[in-house]
Structure 1
Amino acid sequence: MTYLFRCLVLLSTLLASGCASLSQGEHARAVSIAQAAQSQQVQCQAVDACAEPSALYALAGKAQALSTAQVPRHYALLLDYGEDALLARLNLLRSARHSIDLQTYIFDTDDSARLVIDELLAAARRGVQVRVLIDQLSAINDLQTLGALAGAHRNFQLRIYNPTFGKADPSYLDYAGSVLCCFRRFNQRMHTKLLVVDGAIGITGGRNYQDDYFDWDSEFNFRDRDVLIAGPAARDMARSFGQFWDARLSVPVAQLNDVGRYLLRHGVPALPDKPWRRPERVQAMSEDASDPEVVAARLVEPALPVGTVSYVADPPQKHRHNDPREPAPSSWELGSLVYAARQQITLQTPYLVMSDAAEDMFRSLRKRPEAPRVTVSTNSLAATDNPIVYSVSHKYKRRYLRELGFNIYEFKPFPADAPVDYASMLEEPPVLTPEQSVERPVRPIGSIGSKAGSRRTPRNRVDRRVQRTENRPSFFSSSPASDPLPLKRAGVRMGLHAKSMVIDGRVAVVGTHNFDPRSVNYNTESVVVIPSPVFARELEASIRRDISPENSWVIAPRRKPVVFSGLNYSLDKVSSSLPVFDLWPWRYATSYEYVASAECPTPVPRNDPKFHVCYRDVGDFPEVSIGPKRLYARILIAFGGGLVPIL
């Protein structure tokens, strides 16, 4: 693209955007229209806003009663199951008495997201102050829905973070202009995810508000993780939310140009009446959220009493004063924990692309006389929602294995032992025998994968017109930047999205940080740090389950070729060090599958002498449909190195 063409695109974009902007008077009239339409009626005059009693909410009071200023006490609940994560959210929204603060990167309008919207509005109507903050890049972009929410109720407020050209739904030219004129500003996203109720109990972690984060999608779901914290640390969560709410980049929805124009033309509309995709599933979830026995068994009883809990979050000021020499709080905290490790670091990240600082840190650990063992759980190309990032990660496998000492496990698209109730994903749930219909079965998701030609899921098709995850529109397209690649067989697949770490079996970390350059330089992130051996063991067991042979492939060096092994290694090393033109096809490492036998009754590490006896080579991109896609992956590897700073 020539410089002149860029200038013409930029000029036309700015002119178009300028014409599209509302005047100050128009903005004021749009806001007045929304405020005039807001219902003033409060359905409950009770002090507790007629909140539902909840044993889950009560954990906050118990923790507070046990706490002192010097010795805080908390309850911590690991939310591995997607449906449990949704259940916890609905139950807490119904139990709110004073305030609900919700902050997220993605908010859709599908079944799970609409359930949450309905509960937020219901809470506002009974007297709870509700504030919702969504990053613009993945916010609701339906103007009718946004207009309806702007004028819904006096107790309900919605703001959009860092809107491109002041719009909820930017056009292609707006995106292009943002990349050309304001690249850094456009890429500064609020990746923080947080739900805080009454400043007493909160949930944070990897999940956004979309069906595929709660195991409700019939094509692709995320293996994700949240943590619920009840106790004093929730006040820090509430303070962090307040910083973002008051930030200059957080814009009330009625003040956006396109939403304001819609309100001026149409007034405040009713919320769109969309049919539920799975009404019976929605009804069952809604009933469970108010069932004391269900809530107790699935959420309260598994909660663990812990001591100190730290909520560490990047402030919105990160987007104004981002000096790479001064790491943001979340990155600094993670770095401190890694440097403090002595025996074992267990890390889980969906996108294994390390920043230069992170590589230096792990390289220094590797040089210690007794270096800690580093285990990494991440996505395979077949499982990832972002092939571009995976391809860059694949480029650096030799470096990660040899120089940094990583032991890498890549998640399979059809894991056989994932913490998921797969029947809830299907359009038509299978008929179960009495033996199968046990309480909360952990059914192998691999059994819903099918051969090509499946009637339920057409082969190699992912037909979703929403942003499936953290993908960003680019200069070349206003749609998501990438989608999962086609596979050799059809079925409901899973991709890893959890961001967690365990240090020496004693400190647990759950949050939004992907341990990548974007998290360090562009996105605001947050982490919960729990220095509890009991909780850390539970988190580590969860990650260990994900890297078991049923759920992951092992990345290990190939067998050395009989001839030219040294030459191949040298050429691979030189090629992978190039930012572009990395064209050497025979990589240092590849994927392996464990094969149980009398000689290999249990899995062995990649550096065990029996490794190649116990594992079979399944190739660089197992399960991915080969052909042009393999060429596509190679091209990304060859030229994707230059994208590392923004991935």
Structure 2
Amino acid sequence: MKRAPRMLLAGLLALSAAGCAGLSPLQRDQATHIVAQARETAVDCDRPSTACARPSPLRQLGARAFAESAPGAPRHYALLLDYGQDALISRLDLIRSAQRSIDLQTYIFDEDDAGHLTLDELLGAARRGVRVRVLVDQLAALRHVDTLAALAAAHANFELRVYNPVLGRARISYPQYLLAAACCWRQLNRRMHNKVLLVDGMVGITGGRNYQDRYYDWDDEYNFRDRDILVAGPVAGEMEENFEAFWHARRSVPVAALGDVARRLLRGGVPEMPHAPYAVPARVEAISRDADDPLLVHERLVQAALPVGAAAYVADPPDKDGGSYEEIAPSTVHMRELIESAADEVLLQTPYLVLSRPAQEMFEALHARPDGPRVVISTNSLAATDSFITYALSYKYKRRYLRDFGFNIYEYKPFPEDAPIDLDATGAVGVQWNPDGTVDIRTRDDGYRGSVPTEVHMHPSGSGAGQRGRPEARAARQSERMPLEREYSALRYAGIGVNRRVPLQRAGVRIGLHSKSLVVDERVGVVGTHNFDPRGDNLNTESALVIEDPAFARALAASIRRDIAPANSWVIARRDKPPVFSGLEYSLAKVSEHLPVFDLWPTRYATSYEFAPGPGCPAPLPPDHPGFRECHRPVGDFPEVNLGIKSVLTRIFTAFGAGLAPIL
């Protein structure tokens, strides 16, 4: 054996011994004793019946819903949370109102401003007598062992568990990730993607948002256009039941029982909570004040809640594994049944348009029906996506999606002009508000070329409008990171950055789509965590809230239609046929598309189009309309991307060459 392979093998064996060395029973008992002795038990409240909770207009929605419900006739109130600032205010309001319990389940929990603020609020609730339980996935939550060790002993009313801790650790390094991929691939690849915040078993929030700045418009480089739903009423009991199943599952491990955390406790006792100063304290103070303003919460949130009847929480069990399709994915099966029931229209929003084989067969059969529904897809463009790999696979199958499935595809722009994003809150722009409700924005000078659009519609929230042009916000720019960086950490060794966001031709705060929603016939609406992809079908656990109510479905549809409007999305359609050999080109492209890894044909069946308004084109037309080409102009396969077609295709080929398509 050559020297390099021997050294690599020796290193992996040493790493294996270090990474897999478990705790002895004595060590585990000692770590547990340290935590028990150090935990605070004092409660800063002399009213145990209410735990000194602050009155909350949102929690009151839950009390109202239960009071208006009757056996067989439940009442719920549903609130779509499109704006990141509203989503964070809602969470703060509910946490401060909790009287008995708070259950939080999430995939990503970062240690940035949004993450630290949420932790501070949860610990404050625990100290006033509320039972707080937090369940996080191992791969993408709480980066530092000291933070985890401190939280293990923070308070008797606060408990933290880690789901599916590979190698028996709370944190794993990049080399340990590779080791886990080699020794425990099946376990490593099964993650908890559910996201729930539940207060007193009365009001819950679920949807796409994790706990990280870029989900709440607080990142100065890249933010998500996301969506949550707040629901008040009896369905909160179903959410609580599913959380209990996860909390007591064998894969959910108390943080002090994990090797790296326990050894930290045994080595130095319980550390102080590491809490760096907020990057933008003024922003944190502003949103905290907004959450404490009952009039603001009532006018901006409570009044927007819709009264609905029955609601269902559809969630996978914690022991979901690789069995049959129907058995392993209740969320997938339910979504499929809803889509198959469509008569007129399926409106689906997913950031990552990668379909499993059963999903492809379903949409093909739907398209073959004589009276099949129109299928409208809202997803990311290459310029907007945070996941190059998944866009590469979507790009590969454009012909199939359009021709075989009949999709109308709209790809989100990186600089949408009418999006529910508070650009001012990002701290990356100076804002000048105009009398007509639009704003002129000025970006920081950071080496980008060009400028962002001068008219961007924003939500004039109290927390954003009070901070225009903050110099400290610009100074708080964070280093680039991928939201799914641990899930894609093996790509570190794949070369040329196959999953990095592509450079763009213009400056500005980039926006990427992250919401996962479905509307069927404007009679039923779904908001959840499922990306409608193979990972959601077979690997990740997922959840969704399903509401069969026309008013709610129309509101959700209107939100998605805003995202696919010309100001915010490009439309994908068949490119013009070449003057000669069009049939041969189509056949060769189709053959290339079916290659298992590489797709070498350089010409795509479809490309991106921009709406071109004019006297004869007052409104955009769907791509299957006879007048589509008269009202739309082609803008290329990768609009806004500052890479040549050859460079993009090289990265796509490298992505598939890394062999990662099967796990997307």
Do they superpose with TM above 0.5? yes
Please name the residue that 2:549 is paired with: 532
| Amino acid aligned to 1:105 | Y
Cα 1:197–1:605 change in 2 (3 A) is same
Residues 423-442 of structure 1 mapped to structure 2, 5 A cutoff: 423-427=424-428, 429-432=430-433, 435=435
Matched residue of 2:103: which SS? Answer: strand
Counterpart for residue 459 of structure 1: none
Q: In the alignment, does 2:341 pair up with 1:363? A: no
Q: Look up the match of 1:379.
A: 380
**Whole-angstrom distance in 2 between the partners of 1:327 and 1:375:** 27
Structure 2 residue aligned with 1:71, among 73, 86, 96?
A: 73
Structure 1 position 301 matched with structure 2 position 303: yes
* Alignment-derived partner of residue 122 in structure 1: 124
Cα distance 1:646–1:9, how it changes in 2: closer, same or farther (>3 A)? farther
CA shift for structure 1 position 447: 8.4
CA distance in 1, matches of 2:250, 2:264: 23
Equivalent residue number for residue 544 of structure 1: 561
Structure 1 distance, partners of 2:170, 2:158, is 18
- Counterpart position of 1:133: 135
1:496/1:176 Cα in 2 relative to 1: closer, same or farther (>3 Å)? same
SS, match of residue 259 in structure 1 = helix
Alignment correspondent of 2:63: 61
CA contact 1:9–1:177 (8 Å) conserved in 2: no
* Corresponding residue number in structure 2 for 1:42: 43
Of residues 254, 257, 260 in structure 2, which corresponds to 1:255?
257
Aligned mate of 2:479, from 454, 464, 473: 464
Matched, 1:404 2:419: no
Retained in 2: the 8 A contact 1:355–1:517?
yes
Using the TM superposition, name which of 166-175 and 514-523 deviates more.
166-175
What letter corresponds to residue 560 of structure 1 in structure 2?
Answer: K
- Describe the SS at the equivalent of 1:137: coil
1:600 pairs with 2:583: no
Higher mean alpha-carbon deviation, 288-297 vs 602-611, is at 602-611
SS in 2 for 1:281: helix
Residues 291-332 of structure 1: CA distance to partner in whole angstroms, max 9, x if unpaired? 01110011100000000000010010103x633353411001
CA-to-aligned-CA distance 1:517-546 (integer Å, 9 cap, x gap): 000010000010000000000000000000
Bigger Cα displacement from structure 2, 441-450 vs 356-365: 441-450
For each residue in 1:471-515, what CA deviation from the matched residue of structure 2 results, as whole angstroms up to 9, or x when unmatched?
Answer: 614435399983321111221010000000000010000000000
Q: 1:443 to 1:376 in 2, by over 3 A?
A: farther
Q: Structure 2 matches for 1:149-164, cutoff 5 A? A: 149-164=151-166
2:498 and 2:654 in contact (8 A); partners too: no
Q: 2:213 aligns with which of 206, 211, 214?
A: 211
Secondary structure in 2 matching 1:87 = helix
Contact 2:431 2:442 in 1 (8 A): no
**1:288 matched residue in structure 2:** 290
Q: Is the 8 A contact 1:159 1:251 kept in 2?
A: yes
Instruction: State the identity %.
Output: 54
Answer yes or no: is the 8 Å Cα contact 1:422–1:443 preserved in 2.
no
Q: 2:203, 2:236 within 8 Å by CA — same for their partners in 1?
A: yes
Structure 1 regions of 5+ residues with no counterpart?
457-461
SS at match of 1:100: strand
Q: Counterpart amino acid of 1:333?
A: H
Verify the 8 A CA contact 2:429 2:443 in the aligned structure 1.
Answer: no
The one-letter amino acid paired with 1:403 is: D
- Tell me the TM-score normalised to structure 2 length: 0.91
**Contact conserved, 2:432 with 2:441, CA < 8 A, in 1?**
no
Amino acid at match of 2:487: R
Q: Which residue of 2 aligns with 1:556?
A: 573
Verify: 1:276 aligned to 2:294, yes or no.
no
Q: Residue deviations 1:9-56, cap 9 Å, x none?
A: 65343222244x332211211121122111110111310101000111
Local SS of the residue matching 1:72: coil
Which amino acid letter does the alignment assign opposite residue 35 of structure 1?
A
Answer yes or no: is 1:624 the counterpart of 2:641.
yes
The structure-2 alpha-carbon separation of the partners of 1:81 and 1:442, relative to structure 1 and needing over 3 Å to count, comes to farther
RMSD of aligned Cα (Å): 2.5
Q: Give the corresponding residue for 1:613.
A: 630
AA matched with 2:373: P
Q: What SS is found at the alignment partner of 2:431?
A: coil
Indicate if the aligned counterparts of 1:386 and 1:471 stay in contact, CA closer than 8 A.
no
Q: What is the CA deviation profile of residues 337-369 of structure 1, one whole-angstrom value per residue up to 9, with x for unaligned ones?
A: 011111100000000000000001111111111
Secondary structure of 1:145's aligned partner: helix
Whether the 8 Å CA contact 1:104–1:193 is kept in 2: the answer is: yes
1:44 partner SS: coil
Counterpart of 2:409, as a letter, is I
Give the counterpart letter for 2:179 in structure 1: G
**1:189 match:** 191
* Stretches of structure 2 lacking an aligned partner (at least 5 in a row): 453-470, 472-476
Q: Which amino acid in the other structure matches residue 425 of structure 1?
A: T
Structure 1 residue matching 2:325: 3-state secondary structure = coil
8 Å CA contact retained: 1:312, 1:528: yes
Task: For 2:617 and 2:450, locate their aligned partners in 1 and report how far apart those are by CA, in whole Å.
Answer: 36
Note closer, same or farther for the CA distance 1:583–1:478 as it changes in structure 2 (3 Å cut).
Answer: closer
Scaled by the length of structure 1, the TM-score of the pair is: 0.93
AA in 2 matched with 1:38: R
- The structural deviation recorded for 1:463 is 6.0
Matched residues in 1 for 2:599 and 2:275: separation? Answer: 51
1:84 Cα deviation after fit: 0.2
Asked whether the 8 Å contact 1:500–1:509 carries over to 2, the reply is yes
| Count of aligned pairs | 635
CA contact 2:416–2:511 (8 Å) conserved in 1: yes
Task: Check if 1:316 corresponds to 2:325.
Answer: no
2: CA distance between counterparts of 1:8 and 1:567?
53
Q: Which amino acid aligns with 2:204?
A: G
Q: Deviation at 1:98?
A: 0.2
Q: What CA distance in whole angstroms lies between the structure 2 residues aligned with 1:263 and 1:555?
A: 55
**Does the C-alpha gap of structure 1 residues 637 and 576 become closer, same or farther in structure 2, counting only changes over 3 Å?**
farther
Q: How far, CA to CA, are the matches of 2:223 and 2:88 in structure 1?
A: 14
* One-letter amino acid matched to 1:171: S
Q: How does 1:9-48 map to 2 (within 5 A)?
A: 11-19=13-21, 21-46=22-47, 47-48=49-50
Cα separation, 2, equivalents of 1:7 and 1:370 = 60
Question: What residue is the counterpart of 2:346 in the other structure?
Answer: 345
Q: Secondary structure at the match of 1:318?
A: coil
Q: Quick one: structure 1 residues 593 and 188, their matched pair in 2 at CA, closer, same or farther if it must change by over 3 Å? A: same
**Higher mean C-alpha deviation, range 6-15 or range 162-171:** 6-15
Q: Which moved more, 1:555-564 or 1:4-13?
A: 4-13
Contact 1:408 1:555 in 2 (8 A): yes
- Secondary structure of 1:341's partner? coil
What is the CA-CA distance between 1:263 and the residue it aligns to?
1.1
Query: In the aligned structure 2, how far is the partner of 1:330 from the partner of 1:262?
Result: 39
Label 1:11 to 1:410 Cα distance change in 2 as closer, same or farther (>3 A): same
Q: Structure 1 pair 631/364, CA: closer, same or farther in 2 (3 Å)? A: closer
Preserved CA contact (<8 Å) 2:498 2:651: no
- The 2-side partners of 1:365 and 1:447 are apart by 46
